[in-house]
Amino acid sequence: MLQVARGASVFPIRTVLVVDPDADTLELCSLMLADVAHTIEHAEDGRIALAKALAQPPDLLVTDTQVPFIDGYALCRLLRSDPATVALPIVVATSDGTVASVHRARAAGANAVLAKPFAVDPFIATIRDVLEAQCVRPQANQVVWKPEDGAPPAHHDVSRRKARAHQRYATITPPLAPPGLVCPDCDRQLLYVHSHIGGVNANHTEQWDRFDCPAGCGSYQYRHRTKNVRRLA
């Protein structure tokens, strides 16, 4: 386990699990994540990653598609099938940036897909988009733990688990029907992928719908409360 210092971040992350068979890529991802994560754990194959994620769910998982024993697609499906990790934010990295590969990762449960190689800025922007969609932004009156504060308070994990239990889950059968949208670049019908359900409490829920362009123009998110469509990084 590698620990690095963390700077200020809009979305503080305590633990990130990076899954890749290449030691240099693991180290590179650790450097990229240094400003947004306190603890970065590594796994060289899918079996190790699955065991670590189920034993101690991280705040974010970043996995390559081509990892030994359990590949990135299967890892996503397994994590989505377990109650402990069903809402775990997952970013998939792949050397195959085809539309088919992106759809395969989405269908497996990935929140976002990045084509390798990628630079620091789009990598961090993608993570922030994923966490924002998963409703993990601290509330104004919520105490945010920082590594420099020392050991996290006893209520920290409890409050986060409670928030996750209510706020975050992904589904393909959302409460509100996803709208029919067209791509702003090519005017093709966007393909619905899945929805994220969140909100402050059970009486004030929110829904974000994720869409992909079949022509590869990009991914889009529709927010029901504001009826706003935005392009995702």
As a three-state string, the secondary structure of 139-154 is CCCCCCCCHHHCCCCH
Q: Percent of the chain at pLDDT above 70?
A: 76
Query: What sign does the dihedral 8-38-221-94 (CA atoms) show?
Result: positive
Count of domains in the chain?
Answer: 2
Lookup result for tokens 């789009």: 122
User: Which has more confidence, 195 or 223?
Assistant: 223
pLDDT band at 14 (very low <50, low <70, confident <90, very high): confident
Rounded CA separation 192/172 (Å)? 9
Specify the CATH number for the domain of residue 79.
Answer: 3.40.50.2300
Do 84 and 14 share a structural domain? yes
Q: What is the pLDDT of residues 169-185, one digit of tens each?
A: 667 777 888 888 998 88
Residue ranges making up the domain that contains 183: 169-232
213 pLDDT more than 80:
yes
Q: What is the pLDDT of residues 114-154, one digit of tens each?
A: 988 888 888 888 888 888 776 543 333 334 444 444 444 44
Rounded CA separation 35/55 (Å)? 25
In a domain, 87, yes or no: yes
In a domain, 65, yes or no: yes
* Averaged pLDDT, 205-220: 86
Q: Is the pTM of this model over 0.85?
A: no
Q: Percent of the chain at pLDDT above 90?
A: 25
In a domain, 119, yes or no: yes
Task: Give the per-residue pLDDT at 5.
Answer: 34
Q: What is the pLDDT of residues 85-116, one digit of tens each?
A: 888 999 999 888 778 888 889 889 999 999 88
User: Which has more confidence, 41 or 205?
Assistant: 41
- Residue-averaged pLDDT of the chain: 78
Of 80, 106, 133, which one is at a domain's C-terminal end? Answer: 133
Task: Give the per-residue pLDDT at 102.
Answer: 84
Task: Give the per-residue pLDDT at 146.
Answer: 43
Contacts of 170 (CB under 8 A, 6+ apart): 80, 86, 87, 109, 111, 194, 195, 196, 197
Rounded CA separation 178/131 (Å)? 21
Sheet holding 169-171, edge to edge: 169-171, 191-201, 204-212, 219-223, 228-232
